[in-house]
Structure 1
Amino acid sequence: MSTLGAVALDDIPLFPLNTVLFPGGSLALRIFEPRYLALVRDCTKNGQGFGVCLILSGTEAGLPAAPAAVGTLARIDDFYTLPDGLLGIRASGSRRFRVAHSRVRDNGLVHGEVAWWPDEPVVPVPPEHGLLATILERLLERAGGEHARAERARFDDASWVGFRLAEFLPLEMSERQHLLQLSDPLARLDALTRCIPRFQSA
């Protein structure tokens, strides 16, 4: 751990991907590159997570890609062997962070010194955004899975509703990244409300 002014920074491995992981979200990955096999081994051994950041330039495989500065910590929930013999993992999104500094290790793995963002407060979904909770409920009913079995109270949590809609609506990755970087759950709901007419007219 190091400090930048009064802010404590933690060093974590980064996994740049063509996706955005939100707090409370889930992620399934197929692991085959040696640097990411080492990442999974180390995280499993140490009980630590890794940072998921959207790729701004470059690709997931090959040379290290340029990641977005804001990402989400992923914690490995399970790992298994895929039918093709490769390693598969399931991970869940935890805390958000901002990368202060990054470096590429000899094995090609990107590490970042990150400052953690505080968890968002639990704020009720205001009446003017009640439609968003209804839309999310319908999306989850069709999709199934863990979130479809969420407690009813979750659908009155502005942060949870916003993050889940940002995952399930067919948004551009740049839009998802913007929603991840908002620190106000009500501002996120405002942004999502502006997106809804686009999908209703499709």
Structure 2
Amino acid sequence: MTDAPSLPLFPLQTVLVPGAALDLRIFERRYLDMVGECGRNGCGFGVCLILEGNETGTPATPVAFGTEAVIEDFGNTPEGLLSLRVRGKRRFHVLRTRVRDTGLIVADIEWRADAAASSRLRPEHALLVELLRRILLQVDAGHIDPDPALFEDAAWTGWRLAELLPLSMQQRQVLLQLDDPHARLQLLLDGIAAEIG
């Protein structure tokens, strides 16, 4: 018997970070059932990067850190598949997993919160805010500008950069596993400096 919350997992070849949107096409019975269950219970599901295996067929082995995906919209593709638009919410750490008869992986998890007492952006990371503003101007042209106060939030700034920069999935996964938003920004800054140098 465990008191840990449980979450169905959707292992993918991608990393979902908090606040980021992800479009999915659902066709396997186990995931169609999962979506129905999430809809009935008003809950999300976990997205984890695949460590070993594939997105379809035999259950893949997921990494131990992921992000809760909350369904924002759904519809049907021209091929008749279920399409979902989900958004990353909370990070979690997998404690143990079990596989249902359908092949759906269910995990006992612990939620992970940012550890910093203050998430206010530090002066040494101001360059990253300027970079993020420029990226958003390019990708969000014509959209509503984010609240200026968000750019002073180290966690929000770090997650938006993790979402939008051309990082490998392994690099994104490292950022996802960090509990300190300032350490996350420093890692991004060090990586950019290394690219320039």
Report the TM range for the smaller structure's normalisation.
over 0.9
Given residue 176 of structure 2, which amino acid in structure 1 is its aligned partner? L
Correspondences of 1:187-198 after superposition (within 5 Å): 187-197=183-193
Picking from 151, 172, 189, the partner of 1:155 is 151
Report the TM-score when normalising by structure 1. Answer: 0.91
Cα 1:200–1:81 change in 2 (3 A) is: farther
Q: Confirm whether residue 128 of structure 1 aligns to residue 103 of structure 2.
A: no
Partner in structure 1 of residue 168 of structure 2: 172
Identical counterparts, % of pairs: 51
Quote the Cα distance in structure 2 between the aligned partners of 1:34 and 1:103.
Answer: 18
Contact 1:14 1:111 in 2 (8 A): yes
Secondary structure at the aligned position of 1:108 is classed as: coil
- Per-residue CA distance 1:85-133 (angstroms, 9 max, x = gap): 1110011111111111101110010000001112555522212111101
192 and 115 in structure 1: CA distance in 2 versus 1, 3 angstrom threshold: same
Aligned residue type for 1:84: E
Cα distance between partner residues in 1 of 2:42 and 2:66: 19
Answer whether contact 2:114 2:181 (CA < 8 A) is retained. Answer: no
Change (3 A) 1:156 1:144: same
Secondary structure of the residue aligned to 1:60 is coil
Answer whether contact 2:46 2:67 (CA < 8 A) is retained.
yes
Tell me the residue number matched to 1:71. Answer: 66
The secondary structure found in structure 1 opposite 2:8 is strand
Unaligned segments of structure 1, at least 5 residues: 4-8
CA 1:117–1:69: 2 relative to 1, 3 Å? same
Q: Distance in 2 between matches of 1:84 and 1:191?
A: 42
Aligned counterpart in structure 2 of residue 115 of structure 1, from 110, 119, 122: 110
Q: 1:69 to 1:11 in 2, by over 3 A?
A: same
Q: 1:141 aligns with which of 137, 142, 153?
A: 137
- The Cα of 1:197 is off from its aligned counterpart by 3.6
**1:97 & 1:73 partners in 2: Cα distance?**
7
1:16-35 equivalences under 5 Å are 16-35=11-30
Equivalent position of 2:8 in the other structure: 13
CA distance in 1 between counterparts of 2:86 and 2:141 reads: 14
CA contact (8 A) 1:52 1:72 kept: yes
Q: Which residue matches 2:180? A: 184
Deviation at 1:145, TM superposition (A): 7.7
8 Å Cα contact 1:141/1:148 also seen in 2 = no
Do 2:114 and 2:179's aligned partners in 1 also have CA atoms closer than 8 Å? no
Q: CA RMSD, aligned part only? A: 1.9
Cα displacement (A) at 1:171: 0.8
Q: Give the conservation status (yes or no) of the 8 Å contact 1:140–1:147.
A: no
Q: May I ask how many residue pairs the two structures share in their alignment?
A: 196
Asked whether 1:38 is paired with 2:19, we answer no
What residue number does 1:2 align with? 2
| Structure 2 residue corresponding to 1:62, chosen from 57, 60, 66 | 57
Deviations 1:148-192 (A, max 9, x none): 631011111101111110111111111100000001111011100
